[in-house]
Chains A and B, each alone.
Chain A
Amino acid sequence: MTISLDHVNQNHDLLLFNNSFNKELNIYNHSELIKVSTLSNITDFPSNNNYLGLMFNINGELTGKIICILNLTKEQKNQSQLIQLKSIFTESMNILLGNFLTNLESSSSIMSVVSAPKLIESNNIRNSFPAKNSNSKYHFVVQYIMHSLKEKYLCDIYFYANPKNIKEV
């Protein structure tokens, strides 16, 4: 399946992106990611502090950012558990996104790389999101469940990107 970024068919591209996300990934037998949704429109954002947040930049033939949000369960976590969870979540998202971009390149020749992740402070998560979805030609959210540390966590991956030659307004 090939794609020309100059003549974009939005649905075709989104199907390509969707198929490039792994359905499942086992991360060193300590974490398992399972895809639980197809790509969908971004309609809301995390609104309180009960989340972990990561930001990755994408560079290459796609430029933009990916924000990964983990919904902390209601169970209180001590500092040590939180540190461990952050580390597992960070590496799991890093591996998920690296595999996504690799699969994308394999099926479409779109070459992009992802940066090292940056942790978003929990009280700054909402501000990390762009003011308008429409500033990015491609914007969607996809959901995974992360099984780790004997619990399940819902993870939302928000994707905002433009083809290289289109500047964000």
Chain B
Amino acid sequence: MEEAIDTCRILIVDDSDFSRKSISEMLTSQKYKIIGEASNGAEAINILKESETDIAIIDIVMPDISGLELAEFIKHNFRNIQIILISSLAQENIIIDAIAAGANDFIQKPISKNTLISSVEKIFAGMEKKETSK
């Protein structure tokens, strides 16, 4: 039986450095490790190739590769990574697109700390259950 994961490894992808830093601040805890921050899809993919990641928090609206495209890419190429998509836009179509892209959760900005942690905890708990049941 493999060891259970005890630290959640998180990648933050957002073209706003203010947003990345703010999200990182919210996740300052021994339970979470921010393995990297990326300002675009290409940077994110490079980080994912180098670092073990459990959860990617990805902004939808970014120049060049959108967060939706990045999420789909991750789901195809890094199947174990769970995804939280974030956006200031939260119309029904956006949320449907987020789910279709493979997101495990969607959070509208501005993000509250409680909402973010609740989402990360829920997703991570689901991952740990899968690990211990192997």
A residues apposed to B, CB below 8 Å: 25-28, 30, 84, 87-88, 90-91, 94-99, 101-102, 105-106, 111, 113-116
Contacts and interface: CB of A to CB of B under 8 A. Distances in A.
A98 B16 contact: no
Contacts of B19: 28, 91
Given A28-B110, A102-B108, A116-B61, A94 B90 contact: no
Contact of B61 (A26, A28, A87, A115): A115
A99 B91 contact: no
A131 to B, nearest CB: 27
Interface string B19-55: 1001101100000000000000000000000000000
B18 A101 contact: no
A98 B62 contact: no
Contact of A111 (B16, B17, B91): B91
At the interface, is chain A mostly helix, strand, loop or mixed?
helix
The 7 closest A-B pairs by CB, nearest first: A98-B88, A28-B22, A87-B18, A91-B16, A98-B89, A95-B88, A105-B91
Given A90-B18, A115-B61, A116-B63, A102 B110 contact: no
A94 B88 contact: yes
A90 B19 CA distance: 10
Contact of A90 (B16, B94, B110, B111): B16
B63 A91 contact: no
Interface string B84-115: 00011111111000000000000011110000
Contacts of A90: 16, 18
B66 to A, nearest CB: 9
B72 interface: no
B91 A87 contact: no
A111 B90 contact: no
A114 B29 CA distance: 34
Contact of A101 (B63, B89, B92, B111): B89
Nearest to A92: B18
B110 A27 contact: yes
Contacts of B94: 113
